[in-house]
């Protein structure tokens, strides 16, 4: 008999959340949605509540929660509407919940993801910031509370699939030489630096392979997304910086590789569709159908690889530097990047100013040791303050 697993989705109206619900809908005998959460997308949340009838719907924004509550009552759906960060933590740690999909974008996702780990859940991690900002603290909690951590990012999921099943972080014991972390190169892989100065938010969000939200699309365009993934890989797989090699692979068919000491390189291939890694971890260690079109290698025909250009994409180097510095440096990097991306999307700075702004903040805010989540959030707050102060001192409308 199939056991039904109960699921909370943190960030259900975003691209990962929507893809998760698509997979869940294909297996109603396997999964039951206990709670859905979002920031302020009322209409999307209402539609999801109609389809999945969760016990709870949580809106981070209080005004949006009240509007959703009125609509829920009018439709007769038996879903309780909650609001605020404490409610996110509540639904991430419900006793009946087995699996928590942590898909809230940005630092806002850290506290509920921590709550899920503290409750010993199966944590499906799509929220990069949890590991980037608080890696060693979070990994300690996962171990102490016997949570299960499974990666959602297509690259980390690919690495997870191609490492030995019993891998514990001892590279020598299993003959692993290094991780090859693939990157599409984003929409500006072949664009000159001069041309990149005039990039618009619409152009930056037009990823050639993946359908994603605005923030992660811009991160992909600057390659900060890959920089954050380097830091993630360090914590997920206990990899030293020199054991993580970024490889530009524009087709996004090979999602990452693991190189072994005998010369073997194992790779995970699939069409660029987030439902593949989502299905893999939802049913792990089983495999389930998820609606993804099978990979036609004859149609793909060609796979290309390039070395990354650190001069053109300085965010990669900034991420390696933050990882090497340790302590609060990755949290400062992440916070500065979030403010920079937000500013670019609002046309307050040019695309090429994003790494400049991040570097300035990293030089301004003192790096400190991290001992608790409060330390992480304090570093995040200081970095945001410094980023907004830097923004206020500049002639920010760079695209006149």
| Dist. CA 32–CA 5, nearest whole Å | 6
* Residue at a domain's end among 136, 151, 166: 151
Per-residue pLDDT tens digits for 43-76: 999 999 999 999 999 999 999 999 999 999 999 9
Same domain, 176 and 146: no
Label residue 396 by pLDDT band (50, 70, 90).
very low
Average confidence (pLDDT) over 133-157: 96
Label residue 400 by pLDDT band (50, 70, 90).
very low
Residue 180 has pLDDT above 60, yes or no: yes
Residue 243 is classified by DSSP as G
Of the chain, the percentage scoring pLDDT greater than 70 comes to 98
**Cα–Cα separations (whole angstroms), residue 305 to 217, 245, 249, 274:** 21, 12, 5, 22
Same domain, 192 and 218: yes
Residue 395 has pLDDT above 60, yes or no: no
Question: What pLDDT is recorded for position 235?
Answer: 97
Same domain, 30 and 80: yes
283-122-127-49 Cα dihedral, nearest 10 degrees? 70
Same domain, 133 and 206: no
Contacts for 11 with CB less than 8 Å, ≥ 6 apart: 17, 37, 38, 101, 102, 103, 104, 105, 109, 126, 127
Of the chain, the percentage scoring pLDDT greater than 90 comes to 90
Residue 121 is classified by DSSP as -
Same domain, 119 and 246: no
Same domain, 72 and 86: yes
Residue 194 has pLDDT above 60, yes or no: yes
- Largest separation between any pair of C-alpha atoms in the chain: 64
Per-residue pLDDT tens digits for 226-281: 999 999 999 999 999 999 999 999 999 999 999 999 999 999 999 999 999 999 99
Residue 397 has pLDDT above 80, yes or no: no
Residue 284 domain flag: no
Same domain, 185 and 112: no
Same domain, 135 and 220: no
The boundaries of the domain holding residue 218 are: 156-271+294-310
Question: What pLDDT is recorded for position 1?
Answer: 63
């Amino acid at each position: 008999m199939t056991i039904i697993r109960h699921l909370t989705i943190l960030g259900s109206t975003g691209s990962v959340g929507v893809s998760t619900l698509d997979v869940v809908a294909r297996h109603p005998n396997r999964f039951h949605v206990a709670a859905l959460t979002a920031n302020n997308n009322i209409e999307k949340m209402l539609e999801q509540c109609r389809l999945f009838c969760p016990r709870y719907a949580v809106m981070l924004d209080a005004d949006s929660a009240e509007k959703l509550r009125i609509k829920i009552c009018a439709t007769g759906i038996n879903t309780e509407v909650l609001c605020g960060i404490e409610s996110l933590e509540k639904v991430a740690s419900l006793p009946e919940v087995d699996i928590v999909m942590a898909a809230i974008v940005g630092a806002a996702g850290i506290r509920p993801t921590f709550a899920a780990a503290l409750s010993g859940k199966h944590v499906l991690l799509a929220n990069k910031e949890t590991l980037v900002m608080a890696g060693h603290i979070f990994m300690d909690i996962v171990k102490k509370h016997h949570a299960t951590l499974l990666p959602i990012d297509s690259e980390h999921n690919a690495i997870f699939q191609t490492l030995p099943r019993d891998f514990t972080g001892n590279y020598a014991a299993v003959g692993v030489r290094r991780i090859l972390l693939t990157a599409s190169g984003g929409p500006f892989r072949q664009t000159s630096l001069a041309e990149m100065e005039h990039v618009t938010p619409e152009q930056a969000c037009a990823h050639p392979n993946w359908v994603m939200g605005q923030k992660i699309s811009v991160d992909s365009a600057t390659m900060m997304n890959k920089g954050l993934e380097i830091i993630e890989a360090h914590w997920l797989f206990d990899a030293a910086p020199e054991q993580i090699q970024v490889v530009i692979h524009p087709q996004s068919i090979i999602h990452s590789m693991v190189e072994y000491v005998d010369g073997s390189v194992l790779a995970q291939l699939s069409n660029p569709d987030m439902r593949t890694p989502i299905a893999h971890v939802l049913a792990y260690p089983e495999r389930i159908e998820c609606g993804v079109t099978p990979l036609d290698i004859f149609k793909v025909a060609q796979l290309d690889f390039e070395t990354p250009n650190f001069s053109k994409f300085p965010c990669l180097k900034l991420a390696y530097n933050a990882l090497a510095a340790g302590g609060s440096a990755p949290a400062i990097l992440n916070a500065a990047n979030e403010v920079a991306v937000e500013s670019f999307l609002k046309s307050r700075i040019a695309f090429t100013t994003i790494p400049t702004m991040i570097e300035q903040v990293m030089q301004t805010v003192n790096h400190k040791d991290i001992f608790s989540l409060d330390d992480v959030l304090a570093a995040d707050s200081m970095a945001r303050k410094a980023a907004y102060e830097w923004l206020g001192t500049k002639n920010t409308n760079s695209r006149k």
